[in-house]
Amino acid sequence: MMRLRAATVLATLTVVTLPLIPVQWLALRLKGGLKRSLPVVWHRIACRTVGIRVREIGKPARERPLLIVANHVSWLDITVLGSRMPLSFVAKTEVASWPVFGLFAKLQRSVFVDRQRRSATGRTAEELGTRLASGDAMVLFAEGTSNSGNEVLPFRSALIGAARHALAGDDGEMWIQPLALAYTHLHGLPMGRQFRPHVAWYGDMEMVPHFMNVVRQGAVDVAVVWGEPIRVRPDMDRKTLTRLLEDEVRRLAGNVRAGHPPAGPELPPAAPAADVPAEAGEPAILKAAENG
């Protein structure tokens, strides 16, 4: 039965995906909002087909420019978040060369960053700043890697600071919204620490076997928790800002894993945005990249 389910899921995704690839490829070369909205349709179909049920708590910010800073658990995160709203992602350069997934990342209009070469941060920040200024909501997995889903790893500050500086030539402000992902149930039962590797993809796990296991099993529940957006000024210290975002994402993810968030589908609307205390002498993009 599990093999039959896997075959059915893969066949359905293939039938849906093949006609949409040339449409999205053409949309990327034309003006209009189709290139933003079409991936949302695909991700929603994929979630339903695979058996991923998303519970959204809180709401994404309407303000722009908007950078969304999230924890990273699995390759599933892309489909889960992509099903919520038009988004693009900041991805490591290796993803661009992956079979199938690399093509999807390009069609999603991802910004690729070489994390091994700090000298490339300035170029990535410029591209990221251009996309943010154009109104695209961008997602940055600030841990720099995925993890077991039982924790949130320390956030890296370089790209957060670089993205902020890339927008300094506009109105000098941007919005950053913390977001927590937590995979909570498998086949309707609380997942628990020992079962989270079913969906968590990290370490030296191979992609294809992990992907096929998720497809065969299905029936995954995930919570997407939106934190309060932060109005960011050009003079804010990037490391202070990064610590604030890391602490908030860790708190949100920990609460939902422990079953503490409200039982309803959404939290009340977010309170007015918080400000982060400024610290003098914040370095420019390249120096921020060097300090990592």
Read off the CATH number of the domain in which 168 is found. Answer: 3.40.1130
Question: What total of structural domains would you count in the chain?
Answer: 1
The confidence score (pLDDT) of residue 158 equals: 81
* Number of other CB atoms surrounding residue 15 within 10 Å: 9
Contact 210, 198 (CB under 8 A): no
pLDDT at 177: 96
**What local confidence, expressed as pLDDT, does residue 175 receive?**
92
Q: Which residues of the chain have pLDDT under 70?
A: 115-121, 165-172, 261-292
The pLDDT of residue 196 is 81
- pLDDT value at position 280? 35
Q: Give the model's pLDDT for residue 218.
A: 84
**What pLDDT score does 207 carry?**
85
Calculate the CA 67 to chain-centre distance.
10
The two three-digit tokens of residue 43, written as one number: 């991700």
Give the N- to C-terminal CA distance of the chain in Å, as an integer: 49
Res 288: pLDDT: 34
Share of the chain above pLDDT 70, in %: 84
Report the alpha-carbon distance of residue 195 to residue 211 in Å, rounded: 15
Domain range spanning residue 135?
2-291
Phi/psi of residue 32, nearest 5 degrees: 120, 170
Instruction: Calculate the CA 239 to chain-centre distance.
Output: 20
Tokens representing 47? 């979630």
114 neighbors 93 (Cβ within 8 angstroms): yes
